[in-house]
Structure 1
Amino acid sequence: MDDEVMTVLAGVLEALWRIEAEWPDKPCSLAKLSKQVQRPMSVLRRQLTMLEEAGLLSMALDDGGITGTVALSAAGRQLAADIFR
C-alpha cells in the first residue's frame, strides 16, 4: 500500500477511535463515521473492508447492506491507542 492509502486508513481508524472514546457504550453507525471522515459511503465501505480484513475492526451490516455499525477490534483499539495517544 502506498503512503496516501495508509494515511486515509489511519484517518478512519482515528475517527472511529475518537467516536468510541466519546460514546463508549453506543455502537458507531456507518452514517456517523461517514460524516466524521467526510467520505461518501461507497468509499468508506471499501476502506472499512480493508481494515476489517486486516483484523482492525468489525462491521455489522443491516439487511440490504446499506446501514450498519462498525467497531474497533481489540487489535484495532490497541493500534489506535498506540498511534493517537
Structure 2
Amino acid sequence: MDEEVMAALGGVLLALRQIAAEWPDKPCTLAKLSKQTQLPMSVLRRQLTVLEEAGLIALALDEGGITGTVALSAAGSELAAQLIMP
C-alpha cells in the first residue's frame, strides 16, 4: 500500500480512538465516523473493510448493510496508540 492509503487508514484508526475516548459507553456509528473523518461513506466503507480484514476493527452492519457500528479491536487500539506517540 502506498503512503497516502496508509495515512488515510491511520486517520480512521485515530478517529475511532478519539470517539471511543469521548463517548466510552456509546457504540460508534458509521455516520459519526464518516462525519469525524470527513470521508464520504463509500470511501469510509472501503477503508473499514481493509481494517476489518487486518483485524484492527470490529464492524457490525445492520440488516441491509447501510448502517452499523464500528469499534477498535485490541490490536487496532494498540496501533492507534502507537500512531500518536512522538
Gaps of 5+ in 1: none
CA RMSD, 1 decimal: 0.8
Gaps of 5+ in 2: none
Once the two structures are TM-superposed, the CA of residue 70 in structure 1 deviates from its matched residue by 0.2
* 1:61 counterpart = 2:71: no
The match for 1:41 is 41
Once the two structures are TM-superposed, the CA of residue 83 in structure 1 deviates from its matched residue by 1.7
The match for 1:27 is 27
Answer 1 or 2: which has greater helix percent.
1
TM-score, normalized by length of structure 2? Answer: 0.95
Rounded to whole Å, the distance in 1 between the matches of 2:3 and 2:31 is 26
The match for 1:83 is 83
Rounded to whole Å, the distance in 2 between the matches of 1:4 and 1:83 is 15
User: Identity over aligned residues, as a percent?
Assistant: 74
Deviations along 1:29-59, whole A, 9 cap, x unmatched? 0000000001111110000000000110010
The match for 2:7 is 7
